[in-house]
Structure 1
Amino acid sequence: MIVINNIDDEEIRDVTDETSQDAYMYLTNKLNIETNLTVIWYKTEFDSSDYILIEGVNGKDLYHLDLIELENTVLDDYKFDKKYVKLINGKAIELKFKTPV
């Protein structure tokens, strides 16, 4: 499941286009080959886009939740303090990529 959090009513393209190429390719590759992934993809107030990739969470069980309920359910205490993050069993692992936006 991919959740686009367009805080200021941006278009989906506005959110995805502000993601670095390496981070975008990593995410799309993961989504193409793995299951039970949920992504919260959002644009920050500084005009760059970040995402949180949550492993082991089946979006089919969560699609009926609104954004706040979804974040509360899958993010626990995560503070949105890293650019690209993979969450596994509640543990945040920062993903680092070379190319800038």
Structure 2
Amino acid sequence: MRKGQTPVLKRVIVDYKKLDKNILNLLVEKFPDGYDDDDIVTYRNASNEVVECVEVRTDDTAYLIKVSKRLVMAMEDFDDSDNGDSEDSDLDTDELEGSEEE
């Protein structure tokens, strides 16, 4: 790579259902108090639908995580379980699935 060039990041779009603990941790670290409208990236998918995402990055990858009520709940639950002494740190997506109203 030449001096002054920025590395090309791999771009990955991630749905709420596919979040792993590492990406969720990045989200909570970047947005400890939640995300704002200014943090949302908007694009149109192949079906010409508007999709809203928030972005987090690692050294080699830029993740676009689709925004939904379930994402907010998952971030809150992850933060709570991370700070608590919960032995089961897996994200319970079944409980959140039925709680979203669209």
> Shared fold (TM-score greater than 0.5)?
no
The structure in which a higher percent of residues are helix is 2
Q: TM-score range by the shorter chain?
A: under 0.3
In our comparison, the structure showing a higher alpha carbon Rg is 2
